[in-house]
Structure formats: C-alpha cells, structure tokens
Amino acid sequence: MAARRTGRPARGGRARMRGRAVLGATFVALLALGPLSLGTSSSSAAATAGPTAAGPRVVTEETAAVPAVVVTEVTPRSVGPDDTVSVSALLTNTTDTPLEKVHAYLGVVRYRLSSRQALRGWAAGEVTTADPTPVADLDLDLDEPLAPGASRTVTFTAPAADLRLLPYPETSGARGIVVTFSDDAQGRLGEGRGFLVWDPTADGAPVRLSVVVPVTGPAPDPTDPAAWTSRIDSETAEGGRLGAIVAGTAAHRGVSWVVDPALVERAAAGTPGTVAWASALLAGASGRDVFATDPFDPDLAALAAAGVEPLTDDRSPVAAPQEPDAEATAAASATATPIDDVRRAAASWRTDLALPAEGTASTEVLAAAAAAGPRLVVVDDGLEGVGSTTAPGSTAVATSSGDVTALVPDPHLDALFRSATSPLDPDLPTALAAANRDHDLMLLLAEIATVGEEPVAAQRHLLVTGSRTWTPDATALGHVLGTLESHRRIDLAPVSTLAGTPQPSSDRTPLPVTTSPVANLRTATVARAWDRVAEVRAFAGVTADPASLGSAPVATTSAALSVAWGSATTDRVRLLDDARAQVTAILGGISVVAGSDINLISDRGNLPIRVRNDLGVAVSVGVALVPDDPRLSVLDVPSATLEPGSEQNVQVPVRAIGSGDVSVVVRLTGPDGEVVAEPYAFDVRVRAEWETVGTGVMGGLLALLVLGGVVRTIRRGRSARRTAPIRPLEDA
C-alpha cells in the first residue's frame, strides 16, 4: 500500500477540523500555564489493568463489523522539538466487505497523561478528552481492495513542530495519539490509540529498570535421567521455552538470570542439543548477575511450612559477577567435560537470592529464606505500592530471622513486558497479532516514561520479571530488551544495583503471613523426607567423599519438591518413595557378618568381628563392642577400611575380669561416633579361670612324670650287664 501526505483534513469533515483547530488554539493558552493531567474514573482504572487495555486483542462477534486499528510504533522513542516524528499503524479488515479507498488521520492530545492510571485509561478508550489536535492525514492508494482478513500498514511522518507541544522541561511526558481510518462508502472505519513521549530538553534523569529472568524447569526426575533429558531437550530446542530465554537474553548483560544448576548440569550430560544450550548459557552468564536456585528449584513455601531448610551446599555468595580469567578458563576447558564446565561456573554464581513460586511469598517464606542464607527475595504477590506514585522495586522487610530485601516487580510493567515478548496469538491474523505485541511495547515505554515524570526526590528503580512458565519469542524478547537498552530515558541495570541502592520508603499492601505451597504435600511428609536425608548425610562421613554417597537421595528428595512438578502429587510421592528406598539401601550398605558365639578362656584376648561393605565406595568404620556385663571390658575401638564389596575381620581387644556368659553388641561407627549400621549382638562365654586351672593341672602332671622317672631309676640300681671298668694289664 502506497501512502502519501495530502496536507488537508478529512473529506467531508472540514468544519469539524476547523473546530478542532479552534480548540487547539485554546489548549495552547491553557498549556502556557503549565501541563494538565487527564483523569479517569475508578471504574475505568479497574477495567484497564494489564496489557488487555493496550489495544485490540481479539475480534468478537460484537466487533466483527469494525476494522481493527492498532498503533504499532512511534519513533523516536523520546521526541524532541527538532525531531521528525514517525507514527505507524496497522489497519486490518475484519469485515466481510472489501475496502476500496481508505483515508487515514493522525491527531495528538496535547495534554500530558501525568499518571499511569490515566495512561491505561486512555489506551482502553475509557478516558474522555477533548478532540485530538490534527497533525497529518493521508490518502491510501490501494493497489487492490483490502480484502476481508487482510492488513495494511500506514506510516505518518511529520516534524515535531506540527505537534504544537511546548518546549519546556515541565511539559515533558507521555501524550496520547490517535490514528483514524475511514472510507467513502462506510465513513469512519475505526480508531487506534497510542502514545508518544515528549522530551523537549532530553536532560531528565532516566528511570532505572532491572529485569530478572528465571531459567528453571522442566519437572526434574533424577531416577529417570532419560525422561528428564527428553523434556529438557524439548524446551531447549529452537522455539522451546528455555531455548528462547537464553537466545533472547544472552546478548543483554543487564538482564539478571536465576538459574537451577541441576538443570544446567543435566543438560550438559544430555543430547547434543542440550549440551549446546548449556554451553550457550555458560557463555551468556559471563559478566552478568547470575543467581543459583537451590538444586532442582524446590518449593520454598513447602520447606518453610515444614520448618526445614533447602538441601544445598553451604557456599559463600559472590558480591558481584566476576569476569573469568580467559587463559585459566581456556586451559581448564581443554581437558574438562561439559559437566565440569557447568560445575566450575556454578560455583561462582551468587546464592543470596530466593525465588519463591508465583503467589507463595509470605513473611514465613521470607523468614525461612533469611534463616537459610539468602537476603534477597523476589515477592510477586504482596508489597505492591499504594498511592499516586509508583513504589520502587525493592524494600526492606524485617523477619524473625533478620532483615531481608524484598524485590517487588511492578505488576503492570510485568504484564506488558511478558505480553510484548510473547509468541504471536494464533487466533489472530499474523499482522494483527504482531501489531498488538508492538502496541504493548509502546505502552510499556510510555508507562516507564510516566514514572520518570512523577514528583519524587529520588531516582526510581523498577523491576520486571518473567515467570517460570513464561515462554517468550526469542526475536521479540531481544527486540524489547534492545529497545529498553537504547532508550535515553531508561537505564537497564542489573539486580545487584537495585539490591545495593537504598530506595525511598513507600506505602505498600501487606505481605501474607503464610501461603499455600505449590507442592501440596503434608508438612509432616516433607519433614520426614528431610529427616531421612539428614540420616544419610550423617552416615556419609564414613567415606572420603561424603557428597558422592548421599547425592542420590538428596537429589531425589529435592526433585520431589521442585516447583516444576506443580500439582502432580502422584509424581512427588513416587519420588519420595524412591528416595526412601535409596536411603534404606545406603544405611544398610555396611553390616556385621553373623557368626557363632565366642569362648574366651583367658583374661585377655581379641574377639574377631567380620564386617562387610556392600556400597560402591570405600568406607572407614570403627568397630565398637558394648558388653552388658562388667566382667568383660573392651580395651579399644579399632577402625577398618573396606573396599567396595569386600569383607574384613577386625580384632577387638578385650579383658576378662571374671567368668560368665556376657551378651555383646557390635556397633559400627562413623568418624563422629554415630552408629552407621544395624547393631549386631552375640554371646561371649568368659572362662578366665580355665587358663589358670589348666596350667596348674598340666604343671602337676609334668611334676609327677619327672618324680616317677627319678624313683624308677633309683629302684632299678646299677645293671650287671654294664661294662666292667678297665684295669691296667698286670705284668706277666
């Protein structure tokens, strides 16, 4: 469609345009006294919350006969007196009749929309104002009639002087614009509303904005890595949720990530596609704020309700994102696997931010987070600002475990950000769906600009987030972030800046005391599961690498509480059952081999105890004997190191004080003295006097034998058959 500027009013409407010109002259006189504001009724305010007020969304039966008009873009984003303004709008023929010849008109409301409420009311068409001042009109030369369902874009271009806005600092702010279409046969076809931001001096302080994006999910299952990997592969592929998030934000270092390290590690061990995604995430993490969730992203509200802390390693958070040493990284990566790269990178991610599931933040959750370590908590339900000015994106909250900084997203900006970055609505024509998305971006920029005009002393710092289920369009996400970064009235800053800058106090709605966890399990069930893991952690001290021995039940238990499982209680219970079985197998991995009772016939000796290791790792245990009778005293607790799948005899030194039957319990202990195996009992028959009696008897028998030999020799005398003594020969 070719468009040309005619410089004349609408056909058949000259008198109306002259009337508007008269009103415009009146407005100039009024504006000389200062900018005016447009108000809206309470009903309008209630009806215009969220992105649905930003323009046409769907074509219903009631509106099917009216063509849809959407203002899609105004450039430059902040208009100065010397700029040339460009306004684009989309006309979609939602009627059943082709449009033969179309005329388009552009007008501007010269009043400043000085409140966000008025802004949303204007976008929804629920604020009544004087007629807009005409700026330009166009005759559209249609190469062919605009068929039903077809769309055309028209662009107006005019010098900023034609807007007739006053060039004073106090007149800056958002202005409403109107694009109207009509034709000769049907008259007025439709109207679209939009905004331009008037910035005559370009010296106002920008509004700081932080963006937090969760990189979590899908539902984890460490007991079935293949199924878990398949789900990750689907979401990291092109067009998938995780793939779009990383692709759309990787180039924008001002965006902060909240990442589940278990997800990235699983991806690094998966398919070529998931490995490539994990590598892209690590590359994009360099130089940005990256916060690690607890592994498997458990439901913090469920943990808080059960009075337990997350199953996470005790790591000290880094104060700020660190630039990696390029040479060290290259040398380490030369021989490292993708999993090694993930673990090394994750060790540097900050751990001082908690991200409760949507709608579950409460004072109980904030206190639990503070007790576990994090002092930054994202609160998306509660603590909203109350009053005519916008509340900043953070506030200090006192809890029973200490003060925390609550990061509070702006709900209206949140909704617009997600809508402007969403995939196209499949129920609408592609051009109209794309126009609606562009319109939401325009409203997002206008709302932020309006915040910048609020009469407050300090620079405002706001926050927007994506939800865990948010599935953006990668191209749209990159476009929106690029627009925010390049806007001269917006400073895209990391969350660390928001958390580290004191914000002015503001009236806010109260935070709930408690909330319902996403993981709808009984608190007793959660507490028992964590108790079992605590047993494994205590038991794991028998190995040189305790984390390797207890990792399976820790992972399975944490995964059972993952936010990503949602309302899938059956899967949660299945994982907890699997974790229980893993704990049982580990705790039963070391045992005493049953044997017969032992006879101890001396006052000192060694009792042989045979120990078996059925675990897959080497273990070191102490062998402690506990007799039930003081007649047997244990002299030492020897230790033994057993290789996987091996048995070993351990000699335990004892001393007998008296005779009798003594029951002895064998306890295998860890390095801290805790029992690490099922105790085993056997009997020792202590006969300490037997050795003395036996020695006396043997000595007596020996003496009798010697005495008998002597007597026998004496009684026999000298034998006559013995050789006679030799005498010298006599002389012959």
Q: What DSSP assignment string belongs to 707-719?
A: HHHHHHHHHH---
Q: Give the residue carrying structure tokens 């990189």.
A: 215
Burial of 705 (0-12, 13-18, 19+ CB in 10 A): exposed
pLDDT above 80 (res 231): yes
Q: What is the mean pLDDT of the chain?
A: 83
- Looking up tokens 């899938």, which residue turns up? 568
Reduced to 3 states, what is the DSSP secondary structure of residue 563?
A: helix
pLDDT for residue 317 is more than 50 = no
For 451, phi and psi rounded to 5 degrees? -60, -40
pLDDT at 552 exceeding the cut of 50: yes
Q: Write out the two tokens for 663.
A: 């029951």
Place 44 in a pLDDT band, splitting at 50, 70 and 90: very low
pLDDT over 50 at 64, yes or no: no
The two most distant CA atoms of the chain are separated, in Å, by: 193
> pLDDT band at 312, cuts 50/70/90?
low
Helices (H), ranges, 146-298 = 225-236, 241-249, 261-268, 272-285
d(CA 515, CA 248): 33
Q: Summarize the confidence of residues 453-482 as an average pLDDT.
A: 93
d(CA 281, CA 216): 12
Mean pLDDT calculated for residue range 395-412 = 94
Two tokens at 688? Answer: 């300490």
Per-residue pLDDT tens over the stretch 469-515: 999 999 999 999 999 999 988 999 999 999 988 888 889 999 999 99
Task: Give the per-residue pLDDT at 48.
Answer: 32
Q: Are 287 and 253 in contact (CB under 8 A)?
A: yes
Contact by Cβ (8 Å): 126, 187: no
Lowest mean pLDDT among 22-36, 51-65, 116-130, 402-416: 22-36
For residues 254-271, give the mean pLDDT.
96
Does pLDDT of 216 surpass 80? yes
90 or 27: whose pLDDT is higher?
90
Element (H, E) at 44: helix 42-47
User: Over 70: is that where the pLDDT of 145 sits?
Assistant: yes
Q: Kindly state the average pLDDT of the residues 71-99.
A: 92
Supply the DSSP symbol for 379.
-
CB 499 within 8 A of CB 485: no
Confidence of residue 12 (pLDDT cuts 50, 70, 90): very low
Within 13 Å of residue 75, how many CA atoms lie on the same side as its CB?
11
Q: How confident is the model at residue 313 (pLDDT cuts 50, 70, 90)?
A: low
CB 439 within 8 Å of CB 188: no
Q: Which residue has the higher pLDDT, 560 or 93?
A: 560
The pLDDT of residue 322? 46
Percent pLDDT > 90 in the chain is 58
Q: What is the mean pLDDT of residues 371-378?
A: 90
Closest CA to 32 of 161, 162, 168: 168
Residue 65: pLDDT over 70? no
- pLDDT value for 273: 96
Cβ burial, residue 619 (10 Å; 0-12/13-18/19+): buried
Return phi, psi of residue 81, to 5°: -60, -25
pTM value is: 0.80
Q: How far apart are CA 283 and CA 731, in angstroms?
A: 130
Other beta carbons less than 10 A from residue 18's beta carbon? 11
Contact 151, 67 (CB under 8 A): no
pLDDT(316) > 50: no
Integer Cα distance of 270 and 285 in angstroms:
20
Tell me how many degrees the CA angle 506-509-513 measures, rounded to the nearest 5: 125
pLDDT classification of 130: cutoffs 50, 70, 90: low
Q: Residue 4 pLDDT more than 60? A: no
Contact by Cβ (8 Å): 220, 263:
yes
Quick one: angle between helices 241-249 and 225-236, nearest 10? 50
Place of tokens 């940005």: 288
Give me the mean pLDDT over the 393-397 stretch. 94
* Cα four-point dihedral sign 377, 383, 387, 388: positive
Q: How far is CA 575 from CA 553, 559, 579, in A?
A: 10, 8, 6
Distance CA 385, CA 509 (A): 7
Using alpha carbons, select from 385, 389, 386 the residue that is nearest to residue 455: 389
The count of other CB atoms within 10 Å of the CB of residue 52 is 17
Residues 6+ apart with CB under 8 A from 83: 76, 159, 160
Please give the average per-residue pLDDT across 368-395, as a whole number.
Answer: 91
201: phi then psi, degrees, rounded to nearest 5 = -110, -20
Please tell me whether residue 655 adopts helix, strand or coil conformation: strand
pLDDT confidence of residue 548: 81
Residue 723 pLDDT > 50 = no
C-alpha 719: how far from chain center: 111
What lies within 8 Å, CB to CB, of 731 at 6+ separation is none
Residue 96 CB coordination number (10 Å): 9
Identify the three-state secondary structure at position 407: strand
How confident is the model over 169-190, as a mean pLDDT?
A: 87
Closest CA to 186 of 94, 107, 123, 122: 94
Instruction: Judge whether residue 323 has pLDDT over 70.
Output: no
Q: Out of 21-30, 70-79, 489-498, 633-642, pick the least confident.
A: 21-30
| Residue 8 confidence (pLDDT) above 60 | no
pLDDT (0 to 100) of residue 335 = 54
Residue 122: which pLDDT band, with cuts at 50, 70 and 90? confident
The whole-number pLDDT of residue 67 equals 83
Would you give the distance in Å from CA 257 to the centre of its chain?
8
CB 118 within 8 A of CB 37: yes
Q: What is the reported pLDDT for 259? A: 97
pLDDT band at 598 (very low <50, low <70, confident <90, very high): confident
DSSP state of 629: S
pLDDT of residue 658: 81
- Kindly state the average pLDDT of the residues 693-706: 59
For residue 705, pLDDT over 90 is answered with: no
- Give the pairing of strands 680-686 and 660-669: antiparallel
- On whether the CB atoms of residues 380 and 358 are closer than 8 A, the answer is yes
